[in-house]
Structure 1
Amino acid sequence: MPTHSSAIGEGGGPAEQSRALVLHPVIRQRGERLRDPEKRLEEAVGLTQAIDLHVVHAENIRVDKVQPGTLIGGGVRERMAHLVEEMEIDLVIMDCALTPVQQRNLEKEWGCKVIDRTGLILEIFGARARTHEGRLQVELAAMKFQRSRLVRSWTHLERQRGGLGFIGGPGESQLEIDRRLIDERIGKLNRELETVKRTRELQRSARQRVPYPVVALVGYTNAGKSTLFNYMTGSEVFAKDLLFATLDPTMRAIRLETGRNVILSDTVGFISDLPTDLVAAFRATLEEVVEADVIVHVRDIASEDSEEQRLDVEEVLESLSLDSDVPIVQVWNKADLLDQEEASAVFERAEREDNTVVLSAINGHGTDTFGLILEKLLSRGEERMTRLVAYGDGKQIAWLYENCHVIERRDLNEGMELTISVSDKLVGQMENLFGPVAGKPE
């Protein structure tokens, strides 16, 4: 395989941006699914740009034999050392996992800061997290990462821009952390997160008493989940063409065209080779997925890497031990980026798949079909009946509209006849509140 290299952003970036070199080591391991190196490099560049770094050069480097002390061989290291000097590189991103020894040796040899894929993702998480829980989760993941390499420094409180201090920045102080201090901090973060988790469970219990079904959006990062969420809810959740634009779970109640109320949940994007500690630390972010009534897998169908991204997402979903009865809807997003021939082929494929819809979250094309699929799946396990309610019984009318899907209303002399679809678990609650059905089962 020939070595690939590319110059990016020639002419220099803004003065305040750190100049970054992105390297993706191509290491073939037996039995491993090898992604397209070009796409993997492109993703690494996107991750780097997501925290406003100026990528001046990006390259795939072939590693035939892993060097224990430096990962890559001497010839490549020497060539990169010249690049770092010539291009005035401040930071090298290694799109792989580095041991602490490898990281220190490369920094010493190249005379600049070096971080690996885990450190880069943590930087992005630190810059993106907005809620108290999100920041706690980020710091916990960072502390576990720090603990494995005690020579690193923690500058979370001193940083002058978003991120977690792995990259460093002007004016940042260096604070040496030993194992005892890290362990104390990890313990404190775990206790705080337990408190947050109990609060979330109370909030979830309150929602279950409502109880609207939860529809959770999942997908590879930058697949368009937040854009779809914004279109469906009329919200303005941060949605840009950036990797990891969304970190904190966001929820909104919406009403489908069929009249059904649901809670739509936007979740953190998945990504390949996400470190185990990060998956564990962000598990609370994915709790809404585990509790969801319907899971919506949003895919960037215009991406050449769409199939590999699908496999990555499905691997994460499998690790969550989801209930096998929970239906999964496939949303093939970004149809607006396809040419006519590609679009025809995609629509033909979708027609052969169950619970699959092709749409564009940017312009809304296909979202009506998406809503109908949700209605079909959410109505499973529901009982359809009619209920006769006196016009003056405002409490019962309000409860039925709030908790059931009202399909039809007929005004009769003796009262209001509502045709409703009601969850099996709510039939008993309804009859306890208002008595047996004063109507007829459908």
Structure 2
Amino acid sequence: MDPFEVTMNKALQKLAADIIPREDAKVCADNIIELLQTKSKFDIGRVCIAGSIGKKLTIIGSDIDFVLFINDERPMFGDVLEDFDNILTMTDSFNIRDVHVTKYSIQFKALGFEFDVLPAANFTKGLQLQGDTLIDIQQQRVLEHIAQDPKKYGYMYSSSLAEAAVRFMKQQDGFVNEMVRIAKFWFKTLHLNDLRNRSGAKNCIELIAVYVAKQEENMETKSYLRSFKRFIDYLKNFDNLNIHFETDEHRVLNKSRPRVMDPVNPYNNLAKNWDRQSIQLVKAYAHESNRRLEVLANSRAARLDQLFEPQPVYRPDMGEMFERNPTKIQWLVGTETFSRLPDLKVRNERFHTDHKLWGGLENIKKYFQFAILASTVSSCDENEMKEVVLNTISRQIYNSKVTRVSAEGEKHEDYDVTFTIPSSNQTAIRISYRL
């Protein structure tokens, strides 16, 4: 194997291990589930922790998905979602905020975690079964119901197949799971407006990654780099995607392209909800990632901070939020002994009251996390990490160079905002900004 590929494989494998969040959200999820089960006027048969946590694919910034199987109810769950909305907005516990009801789910934040709760139809009420037998019966009955009108029910009943979807992912080997994490990390570095919140978009990316990773099964040595390149190539040609996991082609009911068929629901094409603008953006981002891979290969540099630099590189909207003031030192970047300091400290009330500014903080925090993590994986030292952070500020926010200033007496506590992002178990990078 080529030495560059060996080095990149090690870096990508380490990234897959390091992007799992340090915090444990399960306790918070259990409390929210108990709240809804206790307070809801609807009969909740059982609960499935779905999404990234259920599938063991959690990465930085992953939200917490769980599915509540409702007895004697069928989509569209408008009354159920209204009931959940009332419960969540009326409780004083768990610091619940930003509650938002969508067509199929209710989304909110609690104790800093992002939740997405989906009601689902329970087709196994009263059955004293569990494990695979219960999942098989639920899946069979759901698909029989969808078959009555696939166009109407194909996506509507997807949440009712959550247990089967979680089982499918848990059946994959460690290499496949790691490649899915890497693909999800790449997807999170992209600016895609509202696509990430659109039904099925994240699952679509996961399944493309599963599909390309499984193609390594017959290789003598599995390659993370080769698999990632294949993933990028598929997205470069999104219009022609033809992905399904059925061994019998005649069972795949949707033959139009692009298609990424749900492995537990042959009626659900996860690529169908992508609008033309999103497809064109993802294709462009994939082409740029391919270009970066070629540059790194030519220079023999395994720099993941360069490969995974957020796209687009320059965000004018971020520059508008973090306005430049030539009369002040506005950015301070340093290191700190890591002792579980808060990752975001806001000292200026304007950031709390200005929704746009707060959204900018969330975005730039994410970019700093990506940059520092990728730098850590690339074995950069602390000084190099600081330069990567400054490069992120320069390129993402201002499209012009911001230099580090070591001014005598400058303290992070004197700035409006301070980000503290761990770079190891002992140290963290501190980044401060003032208006």
TM-score > 0.5 by shorter chain = no
Query: TM-score when scaled to structure 1?
Result: 0.26
Higher RCO, 1 vs 2 (CA within 8 Å, ≥6 residues apart): 2
Would you tell me which structure has more strand in proportion to its own residues? 1
